[in-house]
Amino acid sequence: MKTMKLGTTSLKVPVIAVGCMRIASLSKPDAERLVQTALEEGANFFDHADIYGDGACEEVFADAVHMNADIREQLILQSKCGIREGMFDFSKTHILQAVEGSLKRLQTDYLDVLLLHRPDALVEPEEVAEAFDILEASGKVRHFGVSNQNPMQIQLLKKFVKQPLIANQLQLSITNATMISNGINVNMENDKAVNRDGSILDYCRLNDITIQPWSPFQYGFFEGVFLGNAKFPELNQKIDEIANRYHVSNSTVTIAWLLRHPAHMQPIIGTMNPERLKECCRASDMWLTRQEWYDIYCAAGNVLP
């Protein structure tokens, strides 16, 4: 597995992260096999959130990896907080409580990375800064970032937060690529030209913030996967053509499409199938040509101006 620097840190992480949102659905043997496969592939970066399985996913993971001090040093653990039932909450009290809960469930003394999960309309950045200072000083969180935030929301936090915001987890896939499309369609009078996210892709590149694409196989908002889906015949034909050319799976090509982008993204892979996880990890060693990348982009229904 190839590695990369996460944001502005010296932390070397695998270019592919393992998402644990559905790990609580697995039996203990299956969860152990998934985690062991990831570690064998060099994918030792595991992404969590306190709301995944209402906390159960963090517990199942810790049990599956047989957490202890030696194993913990082999892992890079990231969790997210800020989503509560019926609200978003970036208050100092909630952030501190959420981290304590994640640490207990993960059976660890620290998180490598903490992300703020969804923008809180009532955010008081001074409180976020206080919470981050306490967590950093106590050694409970080593690095910080955000999720699903636009440039101005990040800038507002940065006005008060002294720690670098090193990652931004955003929905991005071949079929959900508005952050790429609006850059291609600059100055055009079409729907693809609409800037819906404040040029977040360019902003993150300019500020050395690692984009972590979530749901890289999904279309819409959790409407389903596009691979093998009759709704996307041209896209699947093109992906399969390239997969056959390189003797890899369609999953490998899909992740390779994201890794080919020069923003140096770190996709979050949410599969609970160890064999499919292996296929995704193979993308680390695959390099699409510029033509292949654009062929896939256009096959998804995108038209170059």
| Catalytic residue positions, numbered | 52
Number of CB atoms found within 10 A of residue 4's CB: 16
Give the Cα separation of 56 and 252 in Å (integer).
29
- How far apart are alpha carbons 29 and 273 in whole angstroms? 13
Contacts of range 125-129, beta carbons closer than 8 Å, 24 or more positions apart: 125/156, 125/157, 125/159, 125/160, 125/161, 126/160, 127/90, 127/91, 127/92, 127/95, 128/90, 128/92, 128/95, 128/157, 128/160, 128/161, 129/160, 129/161, 129/162
How far is the C-alpha of 95 from the C-alpha of 97, rounded, in Å? 6
Give the residue among 114, 164, 169, 168 at the shortest CA–CA distance from 138. Answer: 114
DSSP 164-197: -EEEEEEE--SSS-HHHHHHHTTT-SSGGG--SS
* C-alpha 118, offset from chain centre: 13
Cβ–Cβ < 8 Å for 105, 117: no
Residue 300, token pair as written in the block: 């998804």
Q: How far is CA 295 from CA 76, 218, 304, in A?
A: 35, 19, 11
- Which are the contacts of 86, defined by CB distance < 8 A and separation ≥ 6? none
